[in-house]
Chain A
Amino acid sequence: MSSLLDANERFVALADAIAARDAHPGDAITSLRETGRAAFAERGLPHTRLEEWRYTNLAPLSGLSLEPPSEDGRIDRSLLESLATPVFACGLAVFINGRPQEALGGLPAGDVSLTSLRDADPGTAGRLVDVKQHPLAALSAATTEDGIVVQIPAGVALEHPVHLVFVSSSPDAPSVSSPRVVIEAGAGSRAVVIQDHVSVAGGHAHFTNAVTEVHAGANSDLQLAVIQREDDADIHASNVAVHQERDSRFASHVITLGGRLVRNDLNVVLAGSGAECTMNGLYLGTGDRLIDNHTLVDHAVPHCTSHELYKGVLADDSRGVFRGRVVVRPDAQKTDATQQNPNLLLSDGTEIDTKPQLEIYADDVKCSHGSAIGRIDEEALFYMRARGIGQRDARALLTRGFAAEILATLPGEALAEALTADFVARMTGGTGA
């Protein structure tokens, strides 16, 4: 435990160093930092005796001597274009190591408003995430440097996605960045937001610790794609908290293709009746990477729907963790909730810990769940080989087929194509495919 205690002290000192770099008492960031620091100082990093962290040991994180992020990201426009996922966007914001880069972003935002968290009202961020329950979100708040507030005005339908690109780079020492995204979807609005995490190759490990808060107004329609495509040395934590009002439709697409250690928390509260939520996820494990998805959907009121499908592909010695909680409160009658977690294991060295957790306190509900662990279908493999397709290509094609169910639902064909190509490249780059 002593190393964990050391790490906790180091991380608090890190938060203080970051806060000292640019203090603006009274703004939204300062209040976020203060709450986060207090919660983190009290509880520290989670350990594996906590149920929520049983399968995910944060030793790779606690062992890092993290520095505040380099302010000189050494990134120009052409590097940015080669890293970012190609999206034809109506609004673009670029962050390097958690700090906004006005010079690199700056597409005309049109109907959507993109504001730096620094310029937002105090209290804009932090409303949906209880930092006492989420230790990494507490650390994120304590170490945040900035964030972005995406506001889609009531009744506005955006024609193209809002593209938020987060580039991380640790050229001189391991470092941290903790970007905050706040999305406010006005009543009756419609939008797609792409949260795109990439990193500059080489250098040291980077720890991205992102928190996203989504306020889905009544009858709004919002799709959020969280794309994690960092280097295999990097660590990524993501906490997405969603609050859905009456008749809103929200869909998340969490696509994890990179990162040595990735922990995703997705918490959705269905707070207004008639709300619908779709949670799609795809994770690819290669090498000895670990990818952990914890999701929670809280059916707080009657007549809501949630559909969750997370698919995992694990190669080499990688590990996957999936825990999906569905809570149906006593008066949440007529709830319709489904959850599926199929996993495709490409080698014997892989491990998956998958666990659904349904807590149903209402009686007139429709709930189903299932998890599955499968291998490449040998009959399908032979079918492809009998058509001249080589063993390796056939395996890749079958694996791609398994992932297609998620990739095909991504908003926008260009996005789906780019991520499919990256998925295939990373999968075949591993020895397991």
Chain B
Amino acid sequence: MGDTLLEIQNLHARAGDAQILNGIDLTIRPGEVHAIMGPNGSGKSTLAGVLSGRPGYTVTDGSVRFEEKNLLELEAEERAREGIFLAFQYPVEIPGVTNNYFLKASVNAIREHRGEESLDAIDFLSMAKEKMAIVEMPKDLMARSVNEGFSGGEKKRNEVLQMLLLEPKLAILDETDSGLDIDALRVVASGVNALRDENRSMLVITHYQRLLDYIVPDYVHVLAEGRIQRSGGKELAHELEAKGYGWLGLDEGASA
């Protein structure tokens, strides 16, 4: 095929004053699901932050192309409108703004960018209802302030709901599984799987192999000390699970 959705080359980045990413190379083609695993502090969230345009990071070397664009030149909102979605490791609470209002504003910002008509309250609601069913989201969460007083599981479902509504080209899931019990994990995974198709790509960041039983990746990469130390197929995740991060000669053994 030869078509590439995301191409990361020799990416070096600082978080604040600390050098965190030390030369990342990664190519993602349409339809592929890549998993990134790695010990705590290895730079997984930093990579997600650099890709999504989170303030506070400085790219010191390397490049990132998304489709035909230099991704690093785009503002966070432009990246989102181009089709990059970050499911937050720690979803943010926004007092006074209802989930419904927020999601509608978001959907319409992206529709506007695509040259589509914006949805009115009624059309939005019927679209949202369908997606809410997929993640088993209780109706009353739409009328409440964004993430305020949501349980950990509800926050992560809300992230997946947003992803379902925005239909990104590339979804980056930053430890969407952390803190979830097995039922919530299954719901979240089925939401993600509902979106899988031959054009949509995913970058699934996780500390544990468990999630990858539900979202089966095409490729697994192990990140440590700001570099991809090893890449392989889905069996690499099982190997890691069995042998721990120490197996790769890395400092931190994951006690998963």
Contact = CB atoms under 8 A, between A and B. Distances in A.
Interface of A: 377-380, 382-391, 393-394, 397-398, 400-405
B162 interface: yes
B86 A397 contact: no
B96 A400 contact: yes
Given A384-B102, A385-B75, A397-B102, A390 B109 contact: yes
B64 to A, nearest CB: 16
A403 B97 CA distance: 10
28 contacts: A377-B94, A380-B94, A382-B55, A383-B88, A383-B91, A384-B94, A384-B102, A384-B106, A385-B53, A385-B76, A385-B77, A386-B53, A386-B54, A386-B79, A386-B80, A386-B85, A387-B105, A387-B106, A387-B162, A388-B80, A388-B109, A391-B77, A394-B77, A397-B97, A397-B101, A400-B97, A401-B95, A405-B95
A308 B94 CA distance: 23
Contact of B94 (A390, A391, A398): A398
Given A397-B102, A401-B96, A401-B97, A386 B86 contact: yes
A216 B79 CA distance: 57
Nearest to A390: B77
Nearest to A391: B77
A384 B110 CA distance: 12
Contacts of A393: 105, 109
Contacts, number: 80
B81 interface: yes
Nearest to B49: A382
A389 B94 contact: no
Nearest to B162: A387
Interface residues of B, number: 30
Nearest to A379: B92
A388 B95 contact: no
A384 B109 CA distance: 11
A382 B79 CA distance: 12
B95 A387 contact: no
A382 B53 CA distance: 9
B9 interface: no
A389 B107 CA distance: 9
A383 to B, nearest CB: 4
B166 interface: yes
B10 interface: no
Interface string B142-182: 00010000000000000000100010000000000000000
Contacts of A379: 92
Nearest to A394: B77
A385 B95 contact: no
Contacts of A403: 96
Contacts of B85: 386
Nearest to A402: B96
Contacts of B97: 397-398, 400-401, 404
